[in-house]
Structure 1
Amino acid sequence: MPVRFPAKLVPGDLIAITAPSSGVPAHLHPRLDLAIANLKARGYRVYEGRCLREQYKNQSASPLLRAEELTFCLTEPEIKAVMPPWGGDLAIELLELLDFQMFAQAAPKWFTGFSDLSTLHFPLSTLSGWATVHGPNLMDLAARAPDATTEAIWRVLEGERGERLEQQSSAAFQPGENQWGPASDAAFNLTEKTRWTHLDGVTASACFQGRLIGGCLDIIARLAGTPFGNLPHFAQRNNEEGIILYFENVEMGPCELTRALFSLRLQGWFTHLNGILIGRSAGPNNDDASKHQYIDALRAALGDLTIPVIYDVDIGHIPPQMTLVNGASAVVTFTAEGGCLTQQL
């Protein structure tokens, strides 16, 4: 199944906002309203779903209601993009309620975001053949003055099909997950110097290419071995080009991270790869060097691979993050000065 790319967004297009995982509680409605206002300022019309502005037991609504609304948003011809406010915890409840074969017959549209939304990105790309956008969530796009890395999502969504888009590594990152608080239009607080690093600690430069696929490791490691997370099959279909796998860790400590990575390794996920990109980790680490640490987890599971493995990349819960298109052909260039990602839409 070839990867199909949605049409570029143009002013007047209708964007749907629904929360297939966690909803937005009342105290953050001002932030959501600013994000919606920014969409309208770019010339877009907005459809606001029912599963959005409530949050109970980590859900915006029941699994059935969330699945029904997401199905409508993904199949309604007038809707050109689906931009959830953010991820959450329980999108996995929807998988058995969604018809990915039906989506494979429908015209693709942009589905954006990260975190728990990887639960949906992965099968939409591997089963339905849609190119999907792993990048800033809608709530990240409410800032009055967004950083250049976050703002690059619009270069993807509004880019011409066939265009090659280049993104450079960020200059600085925020040393923690975002907590919006009362400053509804705040941007990220980027204070720490970004530095991509090769896992072997020696390689000063690398260049590799392949088709992008990945997401939040906490999520995709649980999809592995199911019909919704069959990376080896996707890799076989793209054997000539090869795969660039990317992921990031949000909650797993070093030992749990090691188990997750070895589970993928034992299921053949690291075969047919041309390279791996690992985002900055938001998970807990051990300060005691005599105990298993984050870097030990990466080295244990990935250290003997004969492909480039780059970590602390601009991906995931420690902002800002690049916009990666699942299914896009990409070229990654890594040097001591930084990194560059070029994608073919």
Structure 2
Amino acid sequence: MMRYPYLGWTGQTIGVTAPSSGLTEELHPMIEEATNRLQDRQMAVQVGQTVWTQQKATSATADIRADELMQMLQNPEIDAIIPPFGGERAIDVLPHLEMNQIPEKWLLGYSDTSTLLFAITVQTGIATAHGPNFVEMRSEEWDETTTAWRRVLATPKGGTVTQWTSDFYQTNWNHAERPARFMYHLDAATEWKSVDPNETELTGRLLGGCLETVRHLIGTPYGDVTAFQQTQINQEPILWYFEISEASATDVHRSLMQMHLAGWFDQAAGIVFGRTPGGRMIEDYTLTDVYGMLKEKLKVPIFYDLDIGHQPPQLTLVNGAQATIRIQGKDSRVDMTFC
């Protein structure tokens, strides 16, 4: 049975640790600014040592990263953990984590952080949250989609929380020129899409993350989806979600085929994909061709261009939660129930 953490509304402390990448010195002000913004919203912040260092595509050695993460997870004075951002090498940490010693505490993030989110939920049945990173909380105001992370993490077990499609999204990052009020340059209209326009609703247990990182859990104990379905969600079908960072169309194709051949999609309710700056066309093979291939092979609904991943803002999706996703124009929505 799934277990859901709970983050109350007042007097909460957020822990910030870097289980994948930390920040080089010139980026340190991003942490300080995000810390100030959370403090403005009546939250305390504890920043770990791994956040301030970065070398060899990682913040620290795997054992140091794992130790700091476990310390924050087990520290009763820390109520939730949000890494600064993703990175490249979170997978190194997994063998060093004491999975049976992880308490019910929210871990929130995306990109390479989803490697940890996926593994923890699959192995322990503790819900984890795929949503904004810590450095993306450093603006004076938060757009409605980003703000939802707070409502989601404050939903009690048995409760339901609704999130709606954004109106606009950001096509490209521009760290040198930030808008005055919000973090993102929201420059394009949002439209959630379905491969088959007649299919507009999906229901299942959420599970997913960054395609380029969670695919490497296939064949490991941290990617045993069959056991997860049997022991944690009573064989309910999985509503898969993926974000794509940089992979080309053919790389996405290969990854999805590997997941299919490994049995990940054997009991899938459907699959949803976030908007992506990746998906580069190879010859005449496009990302929409990939989605069509998957639709034909699996015979389940395939949605795409949702508010997930590297073209923000993004939804906060809870691994293990029961969810219904509806595409209905500007009223498109996600309803999650923590059961």
Q: Name the TM-score class by shorter chain.
A: over 0.9
Report if the CA contact (8 A) 1:11-1:42 is conserved. no
Bigger mean CA offset, 185-194 vs 250-259: 185-194
Matched length: 336
Structure 1 contact 196–338 (Cα < 8 Å) conserved: no
262, 269, 272: which one pairs with 1:274? 269
Task: Tell me the residue number matched to 1:215.
Answer: 209
Secondary structure at the aligned position of 1:143 is classed as coil
1:254-293 paired onto structure 2 within 5 Å:
254-286=249-281, 291-293=284-286
* In structure 2, distance between residues paired with 1:198 and 1:181: 35
2:171 to 168, 175, 181: 175
Q: 1:284 to 1:344 in 2, by over 3 A?
A: closer
1:337 to 1:7, Cα distance in 2 relative to 1, 3 A: closer
Paired residue secondary structure (2:289): helix
Question: TM-score w.r.t. structure 2 length?
Answer: 0.93
Report if the CA contact (8 A) 1:244-1:274 is conserved: yes
Contact between 1:87 and 1:115, CA under 8 Å: does it hold in 2? yes
Residue 298 of structure 2: aligned partner: 305
Q: Which residue of 2 is the match for residue 93 of structure 1?
A: 92
Structure 2 match to 1:78: 77
1:130 to 126, 129, 136: 126
Give the Cα separation in 2 of the matches to 1:173 and 1:338.
Answer: 16
8 Å CA contact 1:331–1:342 kept in 2: the answer is yes
Render the CA deviation track for 1:27-56: whole Å, top value 9, x for unaligned. 222221111112222222222111111211
Within 1, Cα distance between the matches of 2:23 and 2:263?
A: 37
Q: Is the 8 A contact 1:212 1:244 kept in 2?
A: yes
Deviation at 1:13, TM superposition (A): 2.5
**TM value normalised by structure 1:** 0.92
Cα shift at 1:336: 4.2
Which residue of the partner structure matches residue 158 of structure 2? 162
Q: Deviations over 1:146-169 (max 9, x none)?
A: 211111111112334432111111
* 3-state SS of paired residue (1:72): helix
Q: Which amino acid aligns with 2:299?
A: T
C-alpha separation in 2, matches of 1:40 and 1:241: 40
Q: Does the CA-based 8 Å contact 1:217-1:248 persist in structure 2? A: yes
Amino acid at match of 2:204: G
Give the aligned CA root-mean-square deviation in angstroms: 1.9
Q: How far apart are the structure 2 equivalents of 1:161 and 1:40?
A: 27
2:147 to 144, 151, 161: 151
Q: Which residue of 1 aligns with 2:116?
A: 120
Unaligned runs of 5+ in 2: none
State the match for 2:3 in structure 1. 4
- Once the two structures are superposed, residues 176-234 of structure 1 have per-residue CA deviations (whole angstroms, 9 ceiling, x without a partner) of 2x34236497511111111111123x32x522212111100101111111111122322
How far apart, in 1, do the equivalents of 2:235 and 2:96 lie? 34
**Contact preservation (8 Å) 1:8, 1:161:** no
Q: Is 2:333 the counterpart of 1:340?
A: yes
Aligned to 2:183, which of 158, 170, 187?
A: 187
Shift in Å, 1:261: 0.5
Percent identity, aligned pairs only, is 36
The answer to whether the 8 Å contact 2:80/2:106 transfers is yes
Is this contact kept in 2: 1:39–1:46, CA < 8 A?
yes
The code of the aligned residue for 2:171 comes to P
CA distance 1:184–1:52, shift in 2 (3 Å)? farther
Q: Is the 8 A contact 2:83 2:134 kept in 1?
A: yes
Alignment match, 2:223: 229
Q: Using the alignment, how far apart are the partners of 1:67 and 1:21 within structure 2?
A: 10
